[in-house]
Amino acid sequence: MPTPLIPLADADARAAYGRLWLRSPQRTPFAHLAFADAACEAFGLRGRIAAVEGDAGWRGAAIVYEKSAGPVRVSAVPPLAIYSAPILDAPLVPSEAHAGESPLDELAAALAPYQQATWLLPPAFTDARPLAWAGWKLATRYTYVSSLPVDPAEWSAAVRRTIRKAEEAYRVEEDPRHALAAAQLMRGAFARAGRRFRVPDEASARIAGGLVDAGLARIFAAVPVGGEEPAAALVAAHNGHTAYYWIVGGEHGPATTLLMARALPALAAAGIVEFDWAGANVASVAEFKRRFGPRLAPVVRARRVSGPLGLVAGLRGG
């Protein structure tokens, strides 16, 4: 059975969770304690840990971001989390999943006190069936993933032409001080697309800085030659194996293309072997990413709604 929900501040739980994160094939920087601490502080969430014990340590765990909506308790996805999911010590064992006895089953059961719970599962979760069998609703979405190091020959001709034209106009540099610029440029990109982005730029920059300090993010910027303010910037969160197109934006023009062409080799040189483009579900944005030659990968959103919220969801058709 899963342990009771443990406060995020509990020292023993944090140590056990940290050991599990290091060996988990499903780990992402968004499942790291550094992200959890920063997100709880920035967004007023109450952090808890659900865990499944094993003979040699924890078999699985999940950070729960608790918030209240009146009398309703919700396990939320924190802002800025590309993925928000449990971590396990190994891939699921099919016989355990079929019997309803996998660590994923036990972690899902631990969220029973919440009338709404949502997980965004990264591509490493190749089997989400236990959640469906437990009554969660699953929705498949997609991301693009590039293998590193990159081969520029796999990029589209349009990308290669853009890079050649932009090389003399911008310099690409790595510097943590560009975190705020990345947040501001991302907000501008959302605005041009007619979409609102509700996270204050300063909060985005603080969380990015927390991951940089933890060794879980790198910040790149394309700066006009002769200028100081970036025309495009990227905060690439990473777990040592996979990096993520996380806090990123650019002015209209070639700067973002050149930025990515320089950031991807820099990440590969540090031992990163995959780059997750964080979504391929908006056609215009997906087309920009497709031109860098990635492969398409499915990701799953899992949600369980019960009680009054479940009734409302049922009346609305889902």
Q: What is the pLDDT of residue 88?
A: 97
Q: What is the pLDDT of residue 193?
A: 85
**Whether residue 157 sits in one domain with residue 117:** no
**Whether residue 128 sits in one domain with residue 16:** yes
Asked whether residue 215 is domain-assigned, the answer is: yes
- Whether the CB-CB separation of 273 and 242 falls below 8 Å is answered with yes
Asked whether residue 292 is domain-assigned, the answer is: no
Nearest by Cα to 125 from 92, 158, 168: 92
Contacts of 286 (CB under 8 A, 6+ apart): 144, 279, 280
Q: From residue 77, how far is each of 142, 219, 302 by CA, in Å?
A: 18, 24, 11
Asked whether residue 291 is domain-assigned, the answer is: no
Dump strand ranges (E) for the chain: 6-7, 46-54, 57-69, 72-76, 87-88, 116-121, 137-147, 170-174, 217-224, 232-238, 242-250, 274-276, 295-305
| pLDDT per residue as tens digits for the range 185-243 | 999 999 998 888 999 999 999 999 999 999 999 999 999 999 999 999 999 999 999 99
Contacts of 154 (CB under 8 A, 6+ apart): 292, 293
Asked whether residue 209 is domain-assigned, the answer is: yes
Asked whether residue 231 is domain-assigned, the answer is: yes
Q: How far apart are CA 201 and CA 240, in angstroms?
A: 26
**Whether residue 56 sits in one domain with residue 17:** yes
First-last CA distance in the chain: 30
**Whether residue 69 sits in one domain with residue 25:** yes
**Whether residue 160 sits in one domain with residue 132:** no
> What pTM was estimated for this model as a whole?
0.93
Q: What is the pLDDT of residue 279?
A: 96
Q: From residue 46, how far is each of 63, 113, 118, 161, 295 by CA, in Å?
A: 10, 14, 15, 48, 37
Q: What is the pLDDT of residue 315?
A: 39
Give the count of domains, the chain.
Answer: 2
Domain harbouring 265, CATH code? 3.40.630.30
Those residues of the chain that have pLDDT short of 70 are: 1-3, 307-318
**Whether residue 113 sits in one domain with residue 82:** yes
Q: What is the pLDDT of residue 71?
A: 83
**Whether residue 174 sits in one domain with residue 133:** no
Asked whether residue 1 is domain-assigned, the answer is: no
Q: What is the pLDDT of residue 70?
A: 77
**Whether residue 88 sits in one domain with residue 22:** yes
Asked whether residue 295 is domain-assigned, the answer is: no
**Whether residue 202 sits in one domain with residue 81:** no
Range(s) of the domain holding residue 23: 6-141+300-315
Q: What is the pLDDT of residue 3?
A: 64
**Whether residue 68 sits in one domain with residue 115:** yes
Residue type, 71: P
**Whether residue 110 sits in one domain with residue 45:** yes
Q: How far apart are CA 50 and CA 64, in angstroms?
A: 7
**Whether residue 82 sits in one domain with residue 10:** yes
Q: What is the pLDDT of residue 166?
A: 95
Asked whether residue 170 is domain-assigned, the answer is: yes
Q: Chain centroid to CA 315: how far? A: 31
Q: What is the pLDDT of residue 1?
A: 52
What sign has the CA pseudo-torsion 249, 250, 253, 258? negative
